[in-house]
Structure 1
């Protein structure tokens, strides 16, 4: 009788842990410095999500058999989340122009933005950023930026005990670091005449 009750309790806790969590992905401009010659002359033209799993999906906290116990999604389509983050980052640097008021446009491809946890937590972001000179109608700069993070993990904070908040923060930090890499690159700043 006790054995059956214990098995039922364990099954209920495992089944109850299978859930989907939508997380906010935002750009925090707190530590951003404006480039010396910054002027609002850049806009985000397009963002394409070229990941294998498009839409809102970011990753999961997995159980011992690799099964997803806690699925993690962005609060909206990843391409929209990344667009907003790039716009906020450009705005923080004094580079964001009003719609159709810019000489330069960004074409961004999301090649990777994901997270996972089996034991250790991992988060990855990779964007291809192309700058178009709108007067010429052609690309004048392109760069792939990437950030990969991992936490050593804790055997007692995995599976159903894995923290969605900690994995979400790691993912957001990875996205922000990749965006900072793209927009603080001296070659990018030279192309958009902000340096």
Structure 2
């Protein structure tokens, strides 16, 4: 039995990865113990070169080459240290596909502390070849941290964390719902309306 099975709750069968793709971007959700994490992949090594060489020619999208991971979600504790109520990324304990085919939308749901998370992951209707992520959380207590966190792997010598956080003031009354949205494409991570992007050093030490 693989050693990784020791991290899986007793009685739970391994869950196959869930994939969603748009153009040359693919998101691969993988079940790790009590939640789903994910990696954002691009379909050609040349895409990685394009990200660091602005004048490089575009890669042929029909090339059949190994995928490379460009970003990976950071799971577990967020900016509040070891408090599991405020994870680095929304906790997704269930992922469901809404339709057939690798381009059909995915919906995720989860819970951390008293906060309920939900996410919609779908090909972006406003940007061909991109994927849009919409996240919402229902709060019952003031948050110490809210947002999504990725580790950027596009330039291995310069690993960094990228955070997508709500840019609007939180409602004064609880309970309340807070939302943030962003786009994943070959151009990077783009915050959408009501959301901002932050960068920080890698906290792995």
TM (norm. structure 2) is 0.29
Greater per-residue helix proportion: 1
Greater per-residue strand proportion: 2
TM (norm. structure 1) is 0.30
From the CA coordinates, give the structure whose radius of gyration is larger.
Answer: 1
